[in-house]
Amino acid sequence: MNRYIISLLSCILLFSSGLTELLYNPDDNVYQLDFATFETRLGEPTAGKLVKFFNGFCKESQDFMPAFRKLSRNLYKWRRILKVHVFDCSKDENNEICRSFRIRRTPTLRYFPMAYQRNPDDLGTEITSRNVKEIESELGLLLGKMKYFKMFTKEDNITDIFRDNAHVKYVAMVFQMCLSNFLPHFETGNSMEERFASIDDCNEANPVVSSIGRNTLLELLPYNEVVIRVFDDHEVYSKFGISPVPNLIVLLNRSIKPLFLTPEIDNSKAYAGAIRQFLVFADHKPHKPLPKTLPTNINEALRYEILEHHKHRRSHRVYRADLERAINQILKVELRRTSNFIGIKLSVLNNFLRLIYYLSPLKPEAKEKLYSLYSKTKIKTRLTGVSLEELVFKALRNYPFDGNHYIGCIASQPFLRGFSCSLWTLFHYLTVESNFKSGAVVQVFNAYVKFFMDCKDCVDKLKEFKKLRPLRNVRSHDQEVLWLWKLHNFINKQLAGDSTEDPQFPKIQFPSEKDCPNCRDNQSEWRTEEVLKYLKNIYSLKNLSWFGMASAKAYT
């Protein structure tokens, strides 16, 4: 019993090492494309491509992940002619491609034919179904348009097939015919549409109606040694010195010696079965199945992606997702802890709401809702935490705050960063975007810390700083931006190396030399003009990163 548990445990450990923290795993037959290689990969000439455009932070994308994993694993059998790719629309650098391919929501599935070239009139064929079987059958139809499925005619030469494909040992010829002419070949496509359309369309010019050849070809793709060719012309039979017979497959080896297989019934399953049986008999195996993998833990995978993003990013960014989370947390959790808003506390609350209503970094649909909240608290003379909670709930009920993950404020270890980091980020943003009276934002910040932060050390440090740099001296917007920057560095200096420091995000004198080489002169003194320029740059609304938002920029 114990041994069983131990071996089970080591098995889990074995599986969970390696690639399981990725959102998509090459062992599941899925390859991530990036913006630099996107079009080259689509242009690749030998296979069709299924591309899923996704945003891991969006609920619909997350919900579709298990089905997509099943799909991609199933599609492994078709990998000779179909590659499965994903493209991440949540990444800022990928935004341009998602926009130019007119991705309006995620997930979006598109099929691209082989040797695809971008063209505004053909941005791939959209597959709207989310059902694995339906998607597979739609793909079967789309793949059926590839050159491999082209009818073999009496002018074609089998020797050419062997010459062009060194690995091929057999060519199997499958007869497939117009329904109206030849009743036995009854197998049609998987969808009703296809079945009906084919009956009407069946004529000299467009004779392909049965899909027995196509389906046999698809079934046997896992065998490298065999290619299937489909024909619909009786006269091809005469090449092999026989007259037309139903239920007959002609199998040719490299010396063009025909061998005749007679499946029991007339459908692709039986056809493929007969050929497979022959291949097994001749000692050929299908390619190895995919290794087993564990389903992805989405939250873990996203954490991993965010941390990787920070390791590889070239310059410092400020993330919308952090601002959304700060506002969400303040309104729904932090403020509600105050039992009574009266007098100055109530006016601090109102001033804060006014700031985030006017300077809102939230999505446009939030503006009205924040206004409705502000207009309700503004007329109160007192307010309890509980009634504030109700007002917030009513006003913001239908606003979906984006994301369950801090991005710039992610912590590499539990209990660090997160909210306090996002609070700083929010107020830096507000100082930069402010068009209120000079000093208004830092006044609100000061009062917020004093009344709502519930952290004595924080209040003390703030007081200490104000002795050095009184708030009343802040007389312009620029001074306001710089005041908060200086305060933050003052506190960073005291907390550097402290147990609250996240080793992956050390407390530095901000900005770093690397992010802003011009911010210091060669005596390492600040050049405040440059610092100001830098802060206005990174914290401006226009330059916020959309990474981590459930609704990415491309389709808003």
Ligand X SMILES: Cc1cc2nc3c(=O)[nH]c(=O)nc-3n(C[C@H](O)[C@H](O)[C@H](O)COP(=O)(O)OP(=O)(O)OC[C@H]3O[C@@H](n4cnc5c(N)ncnc54)[C@H](O)[C@@H]3O)c2cc1C
Q: How far apart are the first and last CA of the chain?
A: 56
Q: Which member of 239, 309, 507, 553 binds ligand X (CB under 6 A)?
A: 507
Q: Which member of 383, 449, 474, 544 binds ligand X (CB under 6 A)?
A: 449
Residues 254-283 that bind ligand NAG (CB under 6 A): 254-255, 257
- Render 172-193 in DSSP notation, one character per residue: EEEE---TTT-TT-----SSHH
Distance of CA 361 to the CA centre of its chain: 23
From the list ligand NAG, ligand X, none, pick the one residue 489 interacts with, judged by a Cβ distance below 5 to 8 Å according to partner type.
ligand X
Torsions phi, psi for 261 (to 5 deg):
-110, 140
Q: How far is the CB of 478 from ligand X (least distance, A)?
A: 14
How far CA 526 is from CA of 427, 487, 523, 529, in Å, comes to 22, 14, 9, 9
Q: Which member of 284, 332, 488, 527 binds ligand X (CB under 6 A)?
A: 488
The verdict on 543 binding ligand NAG (CB under 6 A) reads yes
Minimum CB distance to ligand NAG smaller for 162 or for 341: 162
From the list ligand NAG, ligand X, none, pick the one residue 485 interacts with, judged by a Cβ distance below 5 to 8 Å according to partner type.
ligand X
Piece of 20-28, 109-117, 223-231, 487-495 that binds ligand X (CB under 6 A):
487-495
Query: Which DSSP category does 22 fall into?
Result: S
The verdict on 420 binding ligand X (CB under 6 A) reads yes
The verdict on 398 binding ligand NAG (CB under 6 A) reads no
The verdict on 491 binding ligand X (CB under 6 A) reads yes
Q: How far is the CB of 553 from ligand NAG (least distance, A)?
A: 14
Minimum CB distance to ligand NAG smaller for 151 or for 458: 151
HSE, CB side, 13 Å, CA atoms: give it for residue 266: 16
Q: How far is the CB of 174 from ligand NAG (least distance, A)?
A: 19
From the list ligand NAG, ligand X, none, pick the one residue 255 interacts with, judged by a Cβ distance below 5 to 8 Å according to partner type.
ligand NAG
Q: How far is the CB of 536 from ligand NAG (least distance, A)?
A: 6
Q: Which member of 152, 406, 424, 547 binds ligand X (CB under 6 A)?
A: 424
CA distance 427 to 512: 20
The verdict on 492 binding ligand X (CB under 6 A) reads yes
Residues 208-227 that bind ligand X (CB under 6 A): none
Nearest of 229, 440, 234 to residue 352 by alpha carbon: 440
CA distance 55 to 107: 7
HSE, CB side, 13 Å, CA atoms: give it for residue 223: 26
CA distance 143 to 210: 15
247 by Cβ neighbours in 10 Å (0-12 / 13-18 / 19+) ranks as middle
Task: Tell me the three state secondary structure of residue 104.
Answer: coil
Please check whether residue 50 is in contact with residue 111, taking contact to mean a CB–CB distance below 8 angstroms: yes
Q: How far is the CB of 314 from ligand X (least distance, A)?
A: 15
Angle at 129 between CA 198 and CA 131, to 5 degrees: 105
Task: Tell me the three state secondary structure of residue 170.
Answer: strand
Piece of 356-364, 404-412, 434-442, 540-548 that binds ligand NAG (CB under 6 A):
540-548
Piece of 147-155, 175-183, 197-205, 456-464 that binds ligand X (CB under 6 A):
456-464
Torsions phi, psi for 176 (to 5 deg):
-140, 130
Minimum CB distance to ligand X smaller for 208 or for 323: 323
Q: How far is the CB of 230 from ligand NAG (least distance, A)?
A: 19
CA distance 98 to 153: 42
The verdict on 464 binding ligand NAG (CB under 6 A) reads no
Beta strand 31-33 with 82-88: parallel, antiparallel or unpaired? parallel
The answer for 186, left when phi > 0, alpha when psi is -120 to 50, beta otherwise, is: alpha
CA distance 333 to 464: 28
Q: How far is the CB of 445 from ligand X (least distance, A)?
A: 8
Give the x/- contact pattern for ligand NAG in 146-165, rule: CB under 6 A: -----------x-xx-----
| Three-state secondary structure of 277-299 | HHHHHCCCCCCCCCCCCCCCCHH
Q: How far is the CB of 260 from ligand NAG (least distance, A)?
A: 11
From the list ligand X, ligand NAG, none, pick the one residue 522 interacts with, judged by a Cβ distance below 5 to 8 Å according to partner type.
ligand NAG
From the list ligand NAG, ligand X, none, pick the one residue 257 interacts with, judged by a Cβ distance below 5 to 8 Å according to partner type.
ligand NAG
Please check whether residue 16 is in contact with residue 300, taking contact to mean a CB–CB distance below 8 angstroms: no
From the list ligand X, ligand NAG, none, pick the one residue 543 interacts with, judged by a Cβ distance below 5 to 8 Å according to partner type.
ligand NAG
Task: Tell me the three state secondary structure of residue 503.
Answer: coil
Q: How far is the CB of 409 from ligand X (least distance, A)?
A: 6
Minimum CB distance to ligand X smaller for 175 or for 485: 485
Q: Which member of 224, 253, 384, 504 binds ligand NAG (CB under 6 A)?
A: 253
Q: How far is the CB of 91 from ligand X (least distance, A)?
A: 19
Please report which helix (H) or strand (E) contains residue 143, including its range: helix 132-143
Please, which residues bridge with residue 174 across strands? 230, 249
- Which residues of the shown chain bind ligand NAG in the complex (CB under 6 A)? 157, 159-160, 253-255, 257, 521-522, 536-537, 540, 542-543
- Which residues of the shown chain bind ligand X in the complex (CB under 6 A)? 408-409, 417, 420-421, 423-425, 428, 449, 457-458, 461-462, 485, 488-489, 491-492, 495, 500, 502, 505, 507, 510
